[in-house]
Chain A
Amino acid sequence: DTEVTQTPKHLVMGMTNKKSLKCEQHMGHRAMYWYKQKAKKPPELMFVYSYEKLSINESVPSRFSPECPNSSLLNLHLHALQPEDSALYLCASSQVENTEAFFGQGTRLTVV
């Protein structure tokens, strides 16, 4: 089983809204990732959690706030987003660092 589940699949939110993206895996992976992908561009790394601790923050604006409540869950809290934040948000997990990462199906986010 290499399943990473992301919810919701689609999200439309206003610039004053607060919403959260959720990601779950039950493969026992200890590294989890958030990526942002714009159309016709590669995924862009945002955050990495390793053993439930934030290990990498790629200078992402504070309107994106990650959270890793336990080893199976990863959240991305969204607040005061801009229209240019509209993108596909991808969650991935890997067993440990530098190993194969498996992606969820993504959340298509539209900010209006």
Chain B
Amino acid sequence: QKEVEQNSGPLSVPEGAIASLNCTYSDRGSQSFFWYRQYSGKSPELIMSIYSNGDKEDGRFTAQLNKASQYVSLLIRDSQPSDSATYLCAVTGNSNTGNQFYFGTGTSLTVIP
């Protein structure tokens, strides 16, 4: 298994604040990076994908990728109570291994009204 690490949390932020979630990965050849949200008892739901260095914004969500540092993050602006969930970072394999799709340990986020 490839190593994908996240701060397990729990992370608590007040409503309206910015939540910052971080993920590091061990395989320098990893090509694709994803953030999933998982509510308790439900399956993971794709929030963001990012494939190249830099920032990618989608509504209140911004994903940031730094391949040199092997680091990917997710910022949630104007956090809402409905954002309370576990956030999973996922990383795919390199061009040789392909099709490997590994998850980090997950960060539990609670947004306090």
Binding site for B on A (CB under 8 A): 31, 33, 41-45, 48, 50, 55-56, 58, 88, 90, 92, 94, 97-106
Residue in A58, A94, A103 whose CB lies within 8 Å of B44:
A103
Contacts of A99 in B (CB 8 A): 32, 49
- Which residues 49-73 of B have a CB within 8 angstroms of A? 49
A105 touches B42 (CB 8 A): yes
Chain B residue nearest to A31 (CB atoms) is B99
Whether B106 and A42, one on each chain, are in contact in the complex, defined by CB atoms closer than 8 angstroms, is yes
Considering only CB atoms and an 8 Å cut-off, how many residues of chain B contact the other chain? 23
8 more CB-based (< 8 A) A-B contacts, given A90-B44, A97-B92, A98-B31: A42-B88, A43-B44, A45-B102, A55-B98, A97-B99, A99-B32, A101-B34, A102-B46
Q: Are A55 and B106 in contact (CB under 8 A)?
A: no
Q: B90 to chain A: which residues have CB within 8 Å?
A: 101
Give Cα A100 to B44, complex, Å: 12
* Contacts known (A42-B106, A97-B92); A48 close to B46, Cβ less than 8 A: no
12 A-B pairs with CB atoms under 8 Å apart are A41-B105, A42-B103, A45-B100, A45-B103, A50-B98, A88-B43, A97-B98, A97-B99, A98-B93, A99-B49, A102-B46, A103-B43
Is there an interface contact between B99 and A43, defined as CB atoms closer than 8 Å?
no
Contact: B46 with A98, CB < 8 Å? no
Interface residues of B in 74-93 (CB under 8 A from A): 88, 90, 92-93
A44, B42: Cα distance in complex, Å: 15
Q: How far is the CA of A61 from the CA of B71 in the complex (A)?
A: 33
A98 touches B99 (CB 8 A): yes
Q: A48-B100, A56-B100 are in contact. Are A90 and B31 (CB under 8 A)?
A: no
Cα(A102)–Cα(B44), bound, Å: 8
Verify A100–B49 contact, CB threshold 8 A. yes
- Complex interface: chain B residues within 8 A of A103 (CB): 43-45
For A92, give its contact among B92, B101, B102 (CB under 8 Å): B101
Q: Which 3 pairs from chain A and chain B are nearest by CB? A: A42-B103, A97-B98, A97-B99
